[in-house]
Amino acid sequence: MSFSRHHLLGMKGLTREEIEVILTTAESLKEISFRDIKKVPTLRGRTVVNFFYEASTRTRTSFEIAAKRLSADTVSLSASTSSLVKGETLIDTAKNLEAMNPDVLVIRHPMGGAPHLLSRFIRASVINAGDGLHEHPTQALLDMMTMREKKGTLQGLQVLIVGDLTHSRVARSNIIGLKTMGARVMAAGPPTMLPPHLEAYGVEVGYRLEEFIPRADVIMMLRLQLERQQQMLFPSLREYSRFFGLQPGNLKKAKKDVIIMHPGPLNRGVEIHPEVADGPYSVILDQVTNGVAVRMALLYLLLGGEKK
């Protein structure tokens, strides 16, 4: 199996074989993070620039840790401390970063398609770390790695995604990736938060959380993204929590080996009850651990893998 892409812009277009290569590579690189000396020389002399136009804790930190564990040099830049605040455009910013000859540019941007645009202007590999409402491919890959680790396979796995799918780039990337890998995807949420035509992507849609819970092998709760909603899409947070928040009581009807996922950050007490988030079915922190491994795998594969 080989991986010959130069950029990772989305889950769309990735083949089953390519996803398999990324996950298998991540699985083999994961143990490096548990050594006493958490570093290998694989990407020595390479430079990774993390450019985040939006806030991030997990994605930004894990890209930086992933690059350092492979011995790459890293630079992190945020919109508020760059010359964007003086009016420099995205493309000019990228061209100036490119002039310093980095090998990888990791970008998070509020505009869907920003990483795709940059990939046309610069030679470095571009990795999409989340673009607007569009995609968050590395989150989907770490989610799939976690599901595969806990459940053995993605083929035939029943995955329930709950909440604000309309504003969720995590959901979009997961749906594309999971369907490619042969999983069954169900979506539950208020009608105002479920995008039209989900069924056309092979997703089973429902408006009641309880109807899907008994069938789910995986329950993925989404963050309520109030900052992206133009208007309130439900009457109150309390009502949302009551009908679409995952409560301890919901799990009485779940499979005994169900796993609970959430991409973070959590709105505790809104989409997920703290007892569920911290409870025995939760794999939320495993997702974060696997985020480092998946990002190590991508840096390794995009920069040539074994070929170099």
Least distance CB 4 / ligand CP (angstroms)? 27
Is residue 168 involved in binding ligand CP (CB under 6 A)? no
Cβ proximity to ligand CP, 21 vs 294, nearer residue? 294
- Identify which of 214, 217, 219 has the alpha carbon closest to the alpha carbon of residue 189: 219
Least distance CB 180 / ligand CP (angstroms)? 21
CA torsion sign for 177, 260, 55, 296 is negative
Do 139 and 59 contact (CB within 8 A), yes or no? yes
Is residue 289 involved in binding ligand CP (CB under 6 A)? no
Interface with ligand CP (CB under 6 A), residue from 50, 59, 146, 166 = 59
Q: Which stretch binds ligand CP (CB under 6 A): 3-11, 14-22, 116-124, 259-267?
A: 259-267
Q: Which stretch binds ligand CP (CB under 6 A): 31-39, 53-61, 80-88, 277-285?
A: 53-61
CA dihedral 50, 54, 55, 60 (to 10 degrees): -20
Least distance CB 279 / ligand CP (angstroms)? 20
d(CA 261, CA 275): 13
Give the number of other Cβ atoms within 10 Å of residue 195's Cβ: 17
Interface with ligand CP in residues 89-148 (CB under 6 A): 130, 139
Q: Locate all alpha helices (DSSP H) within the chain, ordered by sequence.
A: 16-29, 58-69, 90-98, 114-119, 137-151, 169-180, 209-212, 237-244, 274-277, 284-302
- Identify which of 273, 270, 271, 266 has the alpha carbon closest to the alpha carbon of residue 249: 273
Is residue 56 involved in binding ligand CP (CB under 6 A)? yes
Q: How many residues bind ligand CP (CB under 6 A)?
A: 9
Interface with ligand CP (CB under 6 A), residue from 2, 4, 28, 57 = 57
Query: Cα 53 to the chain's mean position, in Å?
Result: 16
Least distance CB 305 / ligand CP (angstroms)? 25
Q: Which stretch binds ligand CP (CB under 6 A): 7-15, 40-48, 55-63, 155-163?
A: 55-63
Least distance CB 264 / ligand CP (angstroms)? 5
Do 259 and 218 contact (CB within 8 A), yes or no? yes
Point out which residues bind ligand CP (CB under 6 A): 56-59, 130, 139, 263-265
